[in-house]
Amino acid sequence: MSYKSADILINEKLKLEVVEGNIYYIRYADNITIEVEDIKIVKSFFDSLPEPKPLFTVSEFGVYSSITPEARTYAADISPNLLKSAYVIKGLAQRLLV
């Protein structure tokens, strides 16, 4: 299932939306591995948002979800300038990495 509008995108692995007008909310599904292609989708959707771009992000990771080392590196390399970023982590293994 996929759905896209001006301020929301949903697919099998994630849901992207702008909330409160300036918070870019990224929700990852449970039991997935986040790969470079997923990060490219997140970046592409962010780039398609109208100005002014959101200045804050919240990334919520599903239970038993993980990210490949390549995706982690890619995400760090392309990260936009933001005022604040927050992470919602549900799994113990993920908490140990942060």
- Tens of pLDDT, residue by residue over 15-27, are 999 998 789 999 9
CATH class belonging to 3-97: alpha beta
Q: What is the mean pLDDT of the chain?
A: 86
- The alpha-helical segments, DSSP class H, found in 21-91 are 36-48, 69-78
Tokens of 67: 């990210």
Domain ranges of the chain: 3-97
Residue 88's alpha-carbon distances to 49, 58, 63, in angstroms, are 23, 7, 11
pTM: 0.83
- Tens of pLDDT, residue by residue over 31-83, are 999 999 999 999 999 999 888 888 899 999 998 888 899 999 999 898 888 88
pLDDT of residue 40: 95
